[in-house]
Chain A
Amino acid sequence: SQQGEEDPQALSIQEGENATMNCSYKTSINNLQWYRQNSGRGLVHLILIRSNEREKHSGRLRVTLDTSKKSSSLLITASRAADTASYFCATDTGGGNKLTFGTGTQLKVEL
């Protein structure tokens, strides 16, 4: 099974609402990263949070990390139609130069 698993698998909201997606993982990590993928495109890095950090912000994005629960959440505030994409978490478990990606959350923001 995947090291990182996102929840929910799919999320549909109205423009202006907040979107929250979660990532759970199984083993201890050095850092956790969130990426966005628009349909048919490559992944774009959003935020990296290290294991000794609890929260990070970037514009309308807020990421939290709870290492005791082995989970992270990505909050997008005041969502826009342009935020429609798939969102992936990826973990660095320190087992070599590898990131392990989750299966993603598909976010749809409707006008």
Chain B
Amino acid sequence: DAGVIQSPRHEVTEMGQEVTLRCKPISGHDYLFWYRQTMMRGLELLIYFNNNVPIDDSGMPEDRFSAKMPNASFSTLKIQPSEPRDSAVYFCASSPPLRGYNEQFFGPGTRLTVL
């Protein structure tokens, strides 16, 4: 099992540019989560999907952020336009069908730097 796959691993862009982060969850998992981690705010949930449908997007900071999950094996997080304060590590995680507890498997993260 390859685990959760994220790309790119590192992204450096200039303010105002569009950024797209990608995630491939573990096969068979039906939940997908996007988190953001910064020194100031720690690890915070942005949005999560169940069976490709967004369930809770209350953590999405503003309209510049959007996430999609067109199928069970792919999700994107897009920032348009990007700003320096968006610099962070973005993690994708997936979770198998519920078994009464919440074991999430995290990817290696994408380190985003907006200049």
On whether the two chains bind one another, the answer is no
